[in-house]
Amino acid sequence: MSNPTHRALAHNLMLAAAGLLAVHVIGTVGFLVIDASRGGSASAFDAFYMTFITVATIGYAETIDLSGSVWGRVFNVGVALAGIGAVWVMFSNFTALLLARALDPARMRARLLKEVSRMNGHYIICGLGRIGSGIARELEATGHTWVAIDPLQAVTENPQQSQPGASQDSRRVLADDATDDQVLLSAGLERAAGVFAVTGDDSKNLLISLSAKQLSPKVRVVTRVHDVANVAKCRRAGADEIVSPDFTGALRLAGAMLQPHATGFLDELLHRGDAMRVVDVAVAPGFKTRPVGDLQLRAAEYLVVGLRREGQLQLNPEPDMLLTPGSVLIAMATPAGAAELRQLLRA
């Protein structure tokens, strides 16, 4: 154990165990002497058993009769106090040692990396601040797997940000620098479906986008920028989509004033975990071409609103439009509805 805390707890545990052993030795010898002074014939095991049931507070009958012996009972009280104290110290240090080992950053990191190694098609969130936490909540609500990369100080100084509405078991935060290529690979970049570069620094987000695309060209990268002047740079770095929260926030504020009902409808979609969301479902490469009308365009869990084919978006597609491999169906759907559509559009 190289951790000083672990060493201190282990040392205290050993001292408490040694103290408990000493109490049993002293108690055994003392009870033998007390019994012999009263003309008794107790064995060494009887004396040890008397000490054990006293320390353990079991409450069985005395194996060595102390009735009428004031000093014998005073000695018994001393054994009880010393033994119970040693047991309390030993178990408190043992519990603290188990917790310290379970919460050890190195062990937590090893467990997380082992979990990440089994992930496939997950999402990597680089930066778990206000924006990253919101993304994690949305991924959790829609049933997607994710892992976050954030510096240790950001996670420990802002624990509320490292708990994005998910249970403790579902938290996956890798305390490291997301601009490091090896860290991205450790987060399963080669098997990931997408990367969110959403730190508070545009230059870091640009570097993350560049690194992610160079290490895994097929991965989709969505980048956050503060300064809209950096949009073109992020695009050249390989980002598939660039979002400026400042710009979109301004549009949202204007919409709340000018179109309150439409904006409220969108808020309802985003804030309710069981509400429908706008999703896109790609038609599988081996899918047999068939008209859109062959599908049920409207159900309790989804509503088809558009079809993107050959780069063209057709809203409210006609039933005779063909679904071809590579086209994308746009729908409003719950997580269950999205899964149902993906099942329908499989090869």
pLDDT digits (tens, 9 = 90+) for 109-156: 788 888 888 889 999 999 988 889 889 988 888 888 999 998 864 444
Cα–Cα separations (whole angstroms), residue 219 to 91, 123, 160: 50, 10, 29
For residue 298, the 8-state DSSP code is B
The pair of structure tokens assigned to 224 is: 């956050």
pLDDT at 270: 62
The pair of structure tokens assigned to 253 is: 């504020």
pLDDT at 170: 43
In whole angstroms, give the CA distance from residue 212 to residue 192: 10
Cα–Cα separations (whole angstroms), residue 105 to 14, 138, 176: 24, 27, 12
Bridge-based pairing of strands 290-291 and 194-197 is: unpaired
DSSP string, 212-259: HHHH-TTSEEEEE-SSGGGHHHHHHHT-SEEE-HHHHHHHHHHHHHH-
pLDDT (tens place) for every residue of the chain, 347 residues total: 456 777 888 888 899 899 999 999 999 999 998 888 888 788 899 889 999 988 988 877 778 888 778 888 899 899 999 999 999 999 998 888 888 776 766 777 788 888 888 889 999 999 988 889 889 988 888 888 999 998 864 444 444 444 444 444 346 888 889 999 999 999 999 999 999 999 989 999 999 999 999 999 999 999 999 888 888 888 898 899 999 888 888 877 887 788 887 777 766 766 665 667 888 888 888 888 888 888 777 777 888 888 888 878 888 888 888 888 888 988 888 888 888 888 888 85
What angle in degrees, to the nearest 10, is found between the helix axes of 44-55 and 4-37? 130
At a CB cut-off of 8 Å and minimum separation 6, what does 335 contact?
141, 142, 143
The pair of structure tokens assigned to 30 is: 């003392």
pLDDT at 271: 63
Bridge-based pairing of strands 194-197 and 173-175 is: unpaired
pLDDT in tens, 294-339: 877 777 788 888 888 887 888 888 888 888 888 898 888 888 888 8
Bridge-based pairing of strands 322-323 and 290-291 is: antiparallel
DSSP string, 30-94: HHHHHHHHTT----HHHHHHHHHHHHTT--PPPSS--TT-HHHHHHHHHHHHHHHHHHHHHHHHH
Bridge-based pairing of strands 277-282 and 173-175 is: unpaired
pTM: 0.61
